[in-house]
Amino acid sequence: MKLVILFLLACIVLALFWGLTGLLKAEHGSQRLVRSLTLRVGLSIGLFLLLLLGALFGWWRPHQV
């Protein structure tokens, strides 16, 4: 499960840099920046839901104080 989380985090960072290159190489009418933002937001929401579901189903537990 930790590998899935690390993979999603890596994909979010890659989408961030993909958006940066789209911003720097902005061509008229290019949708690259919008697609990378959509991808990054979608991956972030997916990661958040995965963490919530993992806590609900007991796949992992918060640290005890």
46 belongs to a structural domain: yes
Residue 5 falls inside a structural domain: no
Confidence of residue 65 (pLDDT cuts 50, 70, 90): low
Residue 15 CA, distance from chain mean position: 8
Q: Which domain holds residue 45?
A: 33-60
Number of domains making up the chain: 1
pLDDT tens-digit readout, 1-49: 789 899 999 999 999 999 888 888 877 777 888 888 899 999 999 999 9
Q: Using N-to-C axis directions, what is the helix angle for 32-57 and 2-24, rounded to 10°?
A: 160
Q: CB-side exposure of 17: number of CA atoms within 13 Å?
A: 5
Cα 60 vs. chain centroid, distance in angstroms?
20
Asked if residues 33 and 19 have their Cβ atoms less than 8 Å apart, the reply is yes
